[in-house]
Structure 1
Amino acid sequence: MEVLDILNLGEFAQYFSKMAMFPVFDLAYYIVSILYLKYEPGAVEVSRKSPVASWFCAMLYCFGSYILADIMLGHSPIDSFSNNNHILLASAVWYLIFFCPLNLFYKCVAFLPIKLVLVAMKEVVRTRKIAAGVHHAHHAYHHGWFIMVITGYVKGSGVALMSNFEQLLRGVWRPETNEILNMSFPTKASLYGAILFTLQEVHWLPVSKGTLICLFTLFMATFKVIMTARHSHGSPFTFIESWTCHLLFSSPLEAEDAHHHHHTAPMAVPAPASPAKTKEDLSEGTRKRKSKKAE
């Protein structure tokens, strides 16, 4: 605590935790969310053939976590659409990203330096949503620790958890992309963050909520910006998760698994290694090649 007092982190954390998210940070959240929607295969084509379906998909990307959390807690799933300002702001972002002349708005927000700033701002909103989800569940189920964790987890990663339903709106069905089977870094971090905020909510974690929000936001924003800049889909939790699963569930370590595949794979001419790319990068590249052919 003395270190926090010297750095004056406590007052800054309290100010940061109470800082309003609308409209600046929410705007960044909607931009990045709908930007990732445009990266999805077939999303641009759907927006031309059925703008209504495209708009619904965009709203799920922006408000899917709220909808899923409301369903879990027994509230009306359309409560999220009662805030006209948020709906209008998200709709304006959707229109500009998909229909702006010459794709100017998309090119501006997809420009890497600007995109990195927007990604960092989105993680500020994600952390607030996790904390708010845990706090809301704590009031409804005072001793339901698992409910608090699940609600915070859904608030932080509900968009990814609803991805298969969103795919159906676009006429796509890819069950292998289920987020539970292949958890991305934001989904894993949302789960771990929900656990931390639950421990803080029940006073098992000796730290104030403002400080926890500040530190977790810094962690999320730092790693997400680095991963976005490097076009990486890895996770800083991989090493710990590998050893934990090995000890608790007898799962093979990643190094052992790679060594096994190396010896059992048929002999072939080695191909040059290519850097790992995210799903969004691959989809964007495919779309660019199609547009060049059309030209």
Structure 2
Amino acid sequence: MKGQHAARLQLRHKYLFFKESLFVRDIVRDRWLYFILFPGILYFVIFKYVPMFGLVMAFEDYQPHLGFMNSSWVGLKHFERFFTEPQFWILFRNTILLAIYNLVFFFPLPIVLALMLNEVRNKIFKRFAQTLLYLPHFVSWVVAVGIFYVLFTTEGGIVNELIHRIGIEKIPFLLSEDWFRTMIVSQSIWKEAGWGTIIFLAALSGVDLQLYEASRIDGAGRWRQLWHITLPAIRSTIVILFILRLGTFLDTGFEHIFLMLNSMNREVGEVFDTYVYMKGLTQGQYSYSAAVGLFKSMVGLVLVLGSNWMAKKLGEEGIY
């Protein structure tokens, strides 16, 4: 028995050594690929994983002069305070509504634009249209919001001047609570919808053209080809991007919202991101703002895990 056990151990050691040698050999063989990958890994380690240590302040009464190790531990005190704040439900409502609007109106548009561009046969016009759609992505939110201010302000704005000339009273788009969410979603669509088509166009480029030829022989028109060939071909891409989108469901964009906020629309425009800025940076409540940020991250994690599980149940690949 002892001899058999020793033989098994020796065999296992040989297997592990062989496996490790293969692993090292693979790294040496693909060393340049790993070299190219290294800056990306380094970025995520430095800017994504290392800062996670700072989440400990959400459970402390953090004092900058004492540091993380010497600040007093308070447990879930800041979370209890956040959930019992009268402003919590206002922030929750505003954030959820903006997130749902973005998911319903913004998320499908890059798919629709990609499908439309895929049907364009004139290459020159297609490249020109893609360039026009991509350009807004490279404009900062400060410039983008400034453009909308110039267009929609009641004091000489082009849109309000046209409305006034046809006999309708000027609409305070930038000050009205009723128009705030519409303006936010419209700006997001204008700035990012075109850029979002890149991934879907890449997925569409991998569709087998013989499928279209066979469907035309069977008498299928453009709509039939779209429904039975194109959409099923990019369905997995849509599902993966939808799951990733849910991970940032509560991230409505601090800079964008902050630039659009004013005293007239704050009741519907104040969200978790702007609240964290106000409490953390302007009032110095670092631990409390860290607790709010951690709550947002946990909601995103639950949504990603839940949506990925559902995708697996429905037969899709998911993200892992």
The answer to whether TM tops 0.5 is: no
Bigger Rg, which one: 2
TM-score norm. by structure 1 comes to 0.26
TM-score norm. by structure 2 comes to 0.25
